[in-house]
């Protein structure tokens, strides 16, 4: 990397990125590591890929630790936070990103698939945010200072506002994340904790590979994206890095849609 330590924007910061062994989480962890942050990489099942990411972050001159954890399990979440404090002394940034899909039509959806998605995609965010905030409140920052005691960034989805037939568990969880984010932002502002969301549109990762990997799927997907290209993890990572810097100090309680216009009702773009 050409970045010297002086212009690395997250130098000296410690970040946890949940679900960072692949996809958007991996992109964010790498970008934060390249910007100087020490990164706790969390994986659920793919240790090999998490270890590869660790090597990449170390090659970029930063530190990283790898932790297996299920974000829906409170003991695992404790372990995740401890990995940050034991290895790197503190925690500055939580990127709560881990998420899954278990798709089915509403009439056929099993309670198991409902519960699984709600626990990972909604309760997991609650648990990680609570554990991180308990660390952040230890860092006393005066109200008038132009820096935060800690950052929580929820990686949500355009489906926190776009209803999604065939994915009711997923869309419901993401809608919940939106209100979780806003309520925490309101409640934790006096502690100088910034809480925001990034809502990605269609980003090329394993979660939607069955769609973008076929010619028809790719075409259908593009018809929902006015900006005319499917997103890449880097598109989200760049925004996450910036949001975690003091450049964005006055932003809390906001969702940034990084979606190439997917939330612009593209079906109406030909005058309706």
Alpha-helical runs (H) found in the chain? 23-34, 47-59, 74-88, 111-118, 124-136, 168-188, 209-212, 215-222, 233-243
Q: How far is CA 3 from CA 7, 11, 61, 62, 182, in A?
A: 6, 11, 10, 12, 34
Query: Token pair for residue 21?
Result: 């062994």
Nearer to ligand BGC, 146 or 216 (CB): 216
Minimum separation from the CB atom of position 174 to ligand BGC (A): 7
Catalytic pick among 43, 170, 250, 257 = 170
Nearer to ligand BGC, 9 or 159 (CB): 159
Contact in structure between 85 and 135 (CB atoms under 8 Å) = yes
Q: Which residues bind ligand BGC (CB under 6 A)?
A: 101, 157-159, 201-202, 207-208
Pairing of the two strands 150-155 and 193-200: parallel
Minimum separation from the CB atom of position 170 to ligand BGC (A): 7
Closest residue to ligand BGC in the complex (CB) = 157
Query: Token pair for residue 119?
Result: 């626990």
231 backbone φψ class: left, alpha, beta (φ>0; ψ -120 to 50):
beta
The phi, psi pair for 226, rounded to 5°, reads -55, -35
Give the three-state DSSP class for 82: helix
d(CA 59, CA 20): 17
Nearer to ligand BGC, 88 or 257 (CB): 257
Q: Which has the closest alpha carbon to 198: 166, 174, 169?
A: 174
Nearer to ligand BGC, 155 or 244 (CB): 155
Minimum separation from the CB atom of position 171 to ligand BGC (A): 9
Contact in structure between 213 and 177 (CB atoms under 8 Å) = no
Minimum separation from the CB atom of position 227 to ligand BGC (A): 13
Is 170 a residue of the active site? yes
Minimum separation from the CB atom of position 263 to ligand BGC (A): 10
Query: Token pair for residue 263?
Result: 């939330």
Nearer to ligand BGC, 98 or 193 (CB): 98
Nearer to ligand BGC, 60 or 211 (CB): 211
Minimum separation from the CB atom of position 160 to ligand BGC (A): 9
State the catalytic residues: 170
């Amino acid at each position: 990397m050409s970045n010297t330590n002086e212009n690395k924007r997250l130098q000296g910061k410690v970040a946890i990125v949940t679900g960072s062994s692949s996809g958007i989480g991996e992109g964010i962890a790498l970008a934060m590591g390249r910007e100087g942050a020490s990164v706790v990489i969390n994986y659920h099942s793919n240790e090999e890929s998490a270890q590869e990411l660790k090597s990449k972050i170390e090659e970029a001159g930063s530190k990283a630790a790898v932790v297996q954890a299920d974000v829906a399990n409170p003991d695992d979440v404790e372990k995740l936070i401890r990995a940050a404090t034991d290895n790197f002394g503190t925690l500055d940034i939580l990127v709560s990103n881990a998420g899954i899909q278990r798709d089915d039509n509403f009439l056929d959806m099993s309670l198991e698939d409902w519960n699984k998605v709600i626990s990972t995609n909604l309760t997991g965010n609650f648990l990680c945010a609570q554990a991180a905030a308990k660390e952040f409140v230890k860092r006393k920052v005066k109200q008038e200072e132009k820096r935060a005691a800690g950052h929580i960034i929820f990686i949500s989805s355009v489906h926190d506002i776009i209803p999604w037939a065939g994915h009711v568990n997923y869309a419901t969880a993401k809608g919940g994340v939106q209100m979780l984010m806003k309520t925490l932002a309101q409640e934790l502002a006096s502690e100088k904790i910034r809480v925001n969301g990034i809502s990605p549109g269609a980003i090329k990762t394993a979660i939607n590979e069955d769609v973008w990997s076929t010619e028809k799927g790719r075409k259908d997907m593009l018809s929902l994206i006015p900006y005319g290209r499917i997103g890449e993890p880097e598109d989200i990572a760049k925004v996450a890095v910036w949001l975690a810097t003091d450049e964005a100090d006055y932003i809390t309680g906001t969702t940034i849609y990084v979606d190439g216009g997917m939330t612009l009702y593209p079906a109406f773009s030909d005058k309706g």
